[in-house]
A and B are shown apart, each in its own frame.
Chain A
């Protein structure tokens, strides 16, 4: 358990020489910066005044700055906080469910001693190839499962990812040696014990990866909310932001339509608000990701030092 020094030296074997290390660092840094740029850019737009936006378009160095976008969003603070709460709840719980279901399924079909492995592999593959229609999904969710307007309607549709099952299956096949499992079985360990004590620690990098993607999926999901959620207390962040945006657009467009009754709506800083919403929806995950990544990378190194 406690021999970290030796382990680190074994990580050392897979490293570049100093010169190529520097070269590749620069290369990656440039690329990584190009990936960061959009976020910086969006923050800039969100702080640009509407006038500048309309006159000069999107600029990295706008002439006039303004907080109007955030001010407009602040007027619906309570609603935003509630939506953020829903999103966090759904993301955390959903990711747990997703990682569990996905990895147990993948583990089973990765084991060559599992007799029904072919059936369940194909069973899973088929789901990736075809797409059931939206209408049919809607009927299953609302009629058969009766889950319309519940938090489950946001969690269940993403609770398993067939694509990740297939990825994890390959991962287990490669990283988990059948002979270890055989040995454990001879020692009298049950399948559950083998999975928890032997397989899981080996699979942490893979599980960390699929959890990350599951979490992103939940965080960014708005479509299930569109279909299944009517209750305003259950609206997740992304969907709320989309709703705010499309309503602003419509109100400004239709200002003439219902004009005499809807005066004043035309003054919302559209573009800046839109970007402020993007910032609000991206920033929490961009900020929390590095913390999350600590465990993620730890997982990666544990995965690397298997016997």
Chain B
């Protein structure tokens, strides 16, 4: 509140047109300065380049004058670049797969990582927690290619560990990469397994932030462990859970490309259960390399995500305004 005197003059000057702007600006200035670096970054790495997405509605041709000149001279084709996403029988399959797998991941991730986070926050052996966390995070920073080799070691048709076990015990070897019925489970398992470490650490940080006096109070009230978790820990995690879910819903039309492309080794006979939007776009566009169509696909995914995010946020705001994103 100091410095008010010194700005009185300035305030008076602006008073007529903007009654509170100057003072409000002044009092918000420090926080505004905190935002500035991030905001500038967003301008350069998002808000400027995002305009190039108009190419999704164009038949892009190069012009000697550079990219902008090319954008200016290319002809407009409306929604023609979007057609390939809807025009074949595969459209239904890929949309279904993308949605169902992502829903599966949202549910599984939420339940399992919150469970792990709570368990870790309650364990007595702090050293072991460290070890667990270190190892759980490992898959998160291995690339999908590496994980696909790992999966291959288990289920390769000739020398895979599982097939060796099957034939060893008198069973019949399974040609895994040609057997679509197993893949929904394999993919859900691998996808969840890889991201559990990341997510449970996020929740763990939040669970450790819970004020310990709350537990003490609960204990004094005679609450057992389960009741403590239910009434103290979980409510403390709800905002983060809500946030993660809303954000995941916003990305529900984006599939993890590596999981669906590398792990099933892009095997044709599995397409009915492994084909998702991202792999379809990749497989279709690598040879033509049409930037109009690839921006169209990205725009489509973003737009659906945007709508879903708005809806889920509105629902959350109705129930618990504090947890809503905006």
Q: Please say whether the chains A and B touch (CB closer than 8 A).
A: yes
Binding site for B on A (CB under 8 A): 10-11, 13-18, 20-21, 24-25, 27-29, 31-39, 41-42, 45, 56-60, 100-102, 104-105, 107-109, 111, 113-116, 118, 120-133, 135-137, 139-140, 144-145, 156-157, 159-160, 162-163, 165-167, 170-171, 173-175, 188, 190-192, 195, 205-206, 208-209, 212-213, 216, 219-220, 275, 278, 282, 285-286, 289-290, 293, 297, 300-301, 303-306
The chain A residue sitting closest to B246, CB to CB, is: A166
- Chain B, residue nearest A103 (CB): B34
Is the C-beta of B161 less than 8 angstroms from some C-beta in chain A?
yes
Contact indicator A108/B49 (Cβ below 8 Å): no
Shortest C-beta distance, B147 to chain A (Å), equals 6
Whole-angstrom distance between the Cβ of B21 and the nearest chain A Cβ: 10
Binds A, one of B8-16, B168-176, B263-271, B294-302: B294-302
Q: How far is the CA of A293 from the CA of B247 in the complex (A)?
A: 27
CB distance from A137 to the nearest CB of B (A): 5
Once the chains bind, are A140 and B44 in contact (CB under 8 Å)?
Answer: yes
Report the stretch among B75-83, B94-102, B128-136, B280-288 that lies at the interface.
Answer: B128-136
Bound-state CA distance A272–B22 (Å) is 66
Q: How far is A124 from B99 in the complex, measured between Cα atoms in Å?
A: 25
CB distance from A37 to the nearest CB of B (A): 8
From B49, B125, B197, B326, contact of A137 by CB (8 A): B49
B 125-169 binary contact with A (CB < 8 Å = 1; else 0)? 110111111111111111100110110110010111100000000
Name which of B84-92, B177-185, B198-206 contacts chain A. Answer: B198-206
Q: Verify A174–B46 contact, CB threshold 8 A.
A: no
**Distance of A187 Cα from B236 Cα, bound (Å):** 30
The minimal Cβ–Cβ distance linking A269 to chain B, given in whole angstroms, is 15
Once the chains bind, are A27 and B44 in contact (CB under 8 Å)?
no
Task: Flag if A293 contacts B202 (CB, 8 Å).
Answer: no
- Among B38, B41, B137, B153, chain A packs the most CB atoms within 10 A around the CB of B38
| CB-based A-B contact count at 8 angstroms | 284
Rounded to whole angstroms, the CA-CA distance of A18 and B52 in the bound complex is 60
Does any Cβ of A come within 8 Å of B239's Cβ?
Answer: yes
Distance of A90 Cα from B209 Cα, bound (Å): 30
Give the shortest distance, in Å, between A204 (CB) and chain B (any CB). 10
Q: A136-B48, A301-B208, A306-B209 given. 10 additional CB < 8 A pairs?
A: A29-B128, A37-B150, A57-B160, A105-B34, A133-B52, A133-B53, A139-B49, A165-B38, A171-B206, A220-B143
Query: Nearest Cβ distance between residue A154 and chain B, in whole angstroms?
Result: 13
Is the beta-carbon distance between A21 and B34 smaller than 8 angstroms? no
A286 vs B210: C-alpha distance when bound (angstroms): 29
Interface of A (DSSP majority class): helix
Q: How many residues of B contact A (CB 8 A)?
A: 100
Q: Would you call A32 and B240 a contact (CB within 8 A)?
A: no
Complex interface: chain A residues within 8 A of B302 (CB): 129-131
Contacting residues, chain B, for A289 (C-beta < 8 A): 134, 137
Query: Chain B: which residue is nearest A132 at the CB level?
Result: B49
In the assembled complex, the CB of A281 is this many whole angstroms from the nearest CB of chain B, namely 9
Does B225 reach chain A (CB closer than 8 Å)? yes
Task: Decide if A127 touches B31 in the complex (CB within 8 Å).
Answer: no
Measured between beta carbons, the chain A residues less than 8 angstroms from B146 are: 38, 42, 278
A25 and B125 within 8 A (CB)? yes
Q: Is the CB of B131 within 8 A of A16?
A: no
- Chain A residues with CB under 8 Å of B133's CB are 293
Residue of B with least CB distance to A114: B31
Check if B46 sits within 8 Å of A127, measured CB to CB. Answer: yes
A105 adjacent to B38 (CB under 8 Å):
yes
Q: A282-B142, A300-B205 are in contact. Are A115 and B135 (CB under 8 A)?
A: no
A161 CA / B298 CA spacing, docked (Å): 19
Q: Which residues of A lie under 8 Å from residue B320 when comparing CB positions?
A: none
Minimum Cβ distance to chain B for residue A157 (Å): 6
Q: Is the CB of B50 within 8 A of A132?
A: yes
Contact A36 B37 (CB under 8 A): no
A39, A60, A133, A157 pick with most chain B CB within 10 angstroms: A133
Docked pose: A37 CA to B150 CA in angstroms: 9
Q: In the complex, which residues of chain B have a beta carbon less than 8 angstroms from the beta carbon of A145?
A: 44
A271 → chain B closest CB, angstroms: 9
Measured in the bound complex, the distance between the Cα atoms of B250 and A128 in whole Å is 9
Distance A60 CA – B160 CA, assembled complex (angstroms): 10
Q: Which of A35, A38, A56, A136 contacts B159 (CB 8 A)?
A: A56
**B30 engages A191 (CB within 8 Å):** yes
B201 and A118 within 8 A (CB): no
